[in-house]
Amino acid sequence: MATDESGGARPEAREFQVPRLLRAAEVLGADGRVLRGRVFLPSSAASHAGAMRAEEWLNDPTPFFPFLPDGEGSPVILNKQRIVVMTVAAAADRDPTQEDVAAPLRRVNVECGSLRLSGELLVDMPAPNARVLDLLNRPGAFLNLRDGERHHLVAKARITRVSELGPVTRA
């Protein structure tokens, strides 16, 4: 990055920065540590209007990302391959295009070793491939497990077992 004499970014360098939104997140690492803080989501997405959703951002192929731990003044860099689960507010992962579609929801338990999570999976795939198994085998490193006002983005490589509890009936 181009800097001026004081070490700050020169104005022309700032023109090339992608605007980011800070979103609260909790990260459970493979080492068992839990980090609470903020992730930096792009304020716009290439494939739809609005900010990039947490799920699509985490499933993007870049292996590292900055994370600002609560109470610290500067971010740390985390490796996506060392994450078991990242939990974000459902609002940070909202997809307005899927709100109008009656895609089936499946209630499941997901296990990552001794960690057990429960929630709903949105199976937004064509009928012949609308099984939980198909969703797990779909490209993308993280599975979005919806749990009320929270979304657990679970690393598929860390999942040891999934139990399907059945479809969710909508009111």
According to the model, what pLDDT value does residue 47 have?
65
Strand order in the sheet with 150-155: 76-79, 64-69, 34-42, 20-29, 83-89, 150-155, 142-147, 115-122, 105-112, 161-167
According to the model, what pLDDT value does residue 141 have?
95
According to the model, what pLDDT value does residue 83 have?
97
According to the model, what pLDDT value does residue 1 have?
47
Is residue 80 within 8 Å of residue 39, measured between CB atoms? no
Listed as ranges, residues in the chain with pLDDT below 70 are 1-18, 44-49, 93-102, 169-171
The whole-model pTM stands at: 0.81
Contacts of 8 (CB under 8 A, 6+ apart): none
pLDDT tens profile 27-38 = 999 999 999 999
**Strand (E) or helix (H) holding 110:** strand 105-112
Is residue 155 within 8 Å of residue 141, measured between CB atoms? yes
